[in-house]
Structure 1
Amino acid sequence: MALEYTEEKLNSLDKETIIQLFLSQQEQLKRIDHNLQLVLEQVADLKRHRFGSSSEKHEPDEQISFMEMDGKIVFFNEPEAVADEETGETSETVPRRKPKKKQGKREEDLEGLPVVMVEHSMTEAELEGLFGKEGWKQLPDEVYRRYGFTPAKVEVEEHHVKVYAGKKTDEIVKSPHPECLLRGSLVSPSLEAAIMNAKYVNAVPLYRQEQEFERYGLHISRQNMANWTIQCADRYLAVLYDYLHEKMYDYHVMQADETPVLVNRDGRPAGSKSY
């Protein structure tokens, strides 16, 4: 604890003692100023790490420092501010060059897409009102191209299969027609393909697909979609699955993802990771 001096004690001290006391307190103030500088820098650094952007670049208002200039304590936001003030140099900003567009990119993007021509014209009466009778001629069209997008639509395919019977025989004949994926089910090849593509290519869960169909006014439960997918996989994709399964054994090395599973009886403690 620092020693406190009263006015009486100071009056009783000689000149040499007062001088030494003043010098020691001056040195102590320097140490306090130095420690305060370190504390301010640490607080600013902690603030930057906690609230600042995840970059190593220091913004001008994120670091605090001060120094003595002409007998005065002057605060600066950055050490570079002192250097700029001393040297008088100003940093020149280099203008950012705008990248050049690739020539022919638009034509390349539109290549292969069907084109629907939409004409915008004026009637004969409108033209005669502007230019007079036969007072106009037609110039080459201005062409604007835009992407047109048609959202998914839902419709009911109602198949009417004609049935014929002989007048003199009991023979009944049906017109040729495509077989159903699942007899008695409302699922069609296009619908099941859309469900599989969304689930296994775009990683859209069945419950989100159910919500999307609801917005189209189509009531399909996730349970129906799951049953359709399982049955179609068993009936139509099992052949491909079995072929790939046999093909795997032709390779000398096989890879698998390291997905941990729960194994209860493998002689190890409970909670051990198994693959």
Structure 2
Amino acid sequence: MKTLEKLAFSWYNFVMKELQKNEINNAEMVTISRAEYEALKAHNTELNKQIELLLQQIRLGQKKRFGSSSEKTQEAVMEQLSLLFNEAEAYIKIESPEKTKVAAHTRQKRSGSLEEILPDNVPVEVVEHRLSEEERLCAACDTVMQEIGKEVRRSLVIVPPQVKIREDRYFSYACLTCKAEALETPVLKTRKDKPVISGSFASPEAIAHIMTQKFVMCSPLYRQEQELNRSGVMLSRQTMSSWILRVAEDWLKPVYEEMHRRLLQHSVLFADETTLQVLKEPGKKAQAKSYMWMYRTGGDTEHPLILYEYKPDRKAENPKKFLEGFSGYLHADGYQAYYTLPENITVVGCWAHARRKFDEAVNSLPKSEQKGSSAVIGQEYCNKLFSIEDKLKCLTPEERYTQRLELEKPVLDAFLTWAQTRNAAPKSALGKALYYLQQQWPHLIEYLKDGRLELSNNRAERSIKPFVMSRKNFLFANTPNGAQGSAIIYSLIETAKENDLDPYRYLVYVLNTAPNIDQTHPDWVIPLLPANAPEHCRVPYAKSKCDE
């Protein structure tokens, strides 16, 4: 930011010096040729343009650093644009969807009682406080007082994670009669459950807790090590890391592969990618960028799937290989790699990215120039689309398809007509917004083809955000194996969350069940999928898809 400010002021000083050199005053007249005058005029104009571009970058940078991240239009601008979509002579009239009357209701204020904040199956520990007979002696007649009532005070008790040793004892049995009378003594042994890691003292509960803390609560292993050490448990981060990678490879990877196979059977997917630093990447410096790719199903499926994949680069062959066998619609953010996919994959553009470009164009302008600007008008077109879409989110795909053609297509047609009449410097924020809009237009309107498609790629961005949040804490991965192991774990955890499962209970279920399943059966992994998790893994509330 300081560098941009210095550069802008340097240009300003340079321009002022140029103007001073060519200033004509009454004391001394300087005569120059027409060619020199035109050259100086063009030079000054170019310098002014560069200064304005730098000032735009400064204002936009200050907004990103200090301002709100919301892309909602300001109230003052909304008033100025209130009649934008009613100008029949320039734009198509847009009708609002029919309003449906609903029964009035009163929202009760939450009292904060335990019944409201806790599920029904929480155990209750009753502690009774009574007086001894001596304390109950009546001061007047020395008779023992009898119980006539009680006062109950309920409180929430939270106990930190408890560490204990579980000792499993498997008994053997023999027939003493046969031992005394027969040649052979029959022996019967209790069936032993296989451990999650052979020869290790690790338990499914311990590994699930470490995974949940790292991949859900964003607590790196070194912090967990410190917390355990303060409790007297001298468990090193190296041991925890080896546990995680071992179970990810042995038990979670087969589940991941089955999820991948099922993901490709859907016809509507979302994709996104973000950076990751891997220290020991072969052939690369430790500071080089690697990438975590994310693919997920849409809102049209009953059991969502979210899969991460680690790759050392951002090449187009990565999504092409991962999506091999997929045919249908893919929501993406405009990255060119997605447009090299086979013809049986239709890339759907993201209106959130288009709106963000116009939002940046608005914030690059001084506040005094924002009102009535082309940037604000373009932003409001995008806002209109999102406003209509919000009212259609709970309709069936068929109904949504019809309503989009009726309500949103006129807005799109008017938007494109308006955008084609605008002129802006290519390097300015508005110029970039208009270029993105017109370049991406064929992909931005693809969502009109199917009611299952969505206006933006926000569903993918929400799913990749947990990884981004965790990355701020652990900063980097040590090896490619560790990065891919993390991708597998993130896939199971985020899919579990999307299916209303508690990640810890689900992981405990998988790590307890997987070692004891007959893995020679071709479908042995099916019961371990999040969609087939038992009821005790579920969270005690139901999520409405209309609330997404």
What's the TM-score, normalizing by structure 2? 0.28
CA RMSD of aligned residues (A): 3.6
For this pair of structures, how many residues does the alignment match? 173
Match of 1:109 among 117, 132, 137: 117
Q: Check the 8 A contact 1:213/1:219 in 2, yes or no.
A: yes
CA distance in 1, matches of 2:189, 2:282: 58
Q: Check the 8 A contact 1:199/1:205 in 2, yes or no.
A: yes
In the alignment, is residue 188 of structure 1 matched against residue 203 of structure 2? yes
Q: Check the 8 A contact 1:127/1:136 in 2, yes or no.
A: yes
Q: Which runs of 5+ in 2 are unaligned?
A: 1-65, 68-107, 292-312, 315-548
Residue matched to 1:46: none
Give the secondary structure class of the aligned counterpart of 2:168: coil
In the alignment, is residue 174 of structure 1 matched against residue 195 of structure 2? no
Seen in structure 2, the aligned counterparts of structure 1 residues 110 and 203 have a Cα distance that, compared at 3 Å, is closer
What's the TM-score, normalizing by structure 1? 0.53
Q: Check the 8 A contact 2:222/2:237 in 1, yes or no.
A: yes
Match of 1:151 among 155, 160, 165: 160
In the alignment, is residue 259 of structure 1 matched against residue 275 of structure 2? yes
CA distance in 1, matches of 2:237, 2:110: 48
Aligned-pair distance for 1:129? 4.8
Residue matched to 1:237: 252
Higher relative contact order (CA 8 A, sep 6+): 2
Seen in structure 2, the aligned counterparts of structure 1 residues 114 and 245 have a Cα distance that, compared at 3 Å, is same
Aligned-pair distance for 1:252? 4.7
Aligned-pair distance for 1:261? 7.7
Aligned-pair distance for 1:165? 6.0
Aligned-pair distance for 1:253? 4.0
Seen in structure 2, the aligned counterparts of structure 1 residues 261 and 140 have a Cα distance that, compared at 3 Å, is closer
Q: Check the 8 A contact 1:248/1:254 in 2, yes or no.
A: no
Give the secondary structure class of the aligned counterpart of 1:259: strand
| Superposed CA offset, 1:107-144 (max 9, x none) | 32255232211111212221215343337453321111
Counterpart residue identity of residue 204, structure 1? S
Q: Which moved more, 1:192-201 or 1:165-174?
A: 165-174
CA distance in 1, matches of 2:268, 2:147: 73
| Superposed CA offset, 1:7-41 (max 9, x none) | xxxxxxxxxxxxxxxxxxxxxxxxxxxxxxxxxxx
The structure whose Rg is larger is 1
1:119-158 equivalent positions in 2, closer than 5 A: 119-134=128-143, 136-158=145-167
Seen in structure 2, the aligned counterparts of structure 1 residues 143 and 252 have a Cα distance that, compared at 3 Å, is closer
CA distance in 2, matches of 1:125, 1:261: 71
CA distance in 2, matches of 1:260, 1:236: 25
Give the secondary structure class of the aligned counterpart of 1:194: helix
Q: Which runs of 5+ in 1 are unaligned?
A: 1-53, 56-100
CA distance in 2, matches of 1:235, 1:174: 27
Q: Check the 8 A contact 1:163/1:172 in 2, yes or no.
A: yes
Seen in structure 2, the aligned counterparts of structure 1 residues 249 and 195 have a Cα distance that, compared at 3 Å, is same
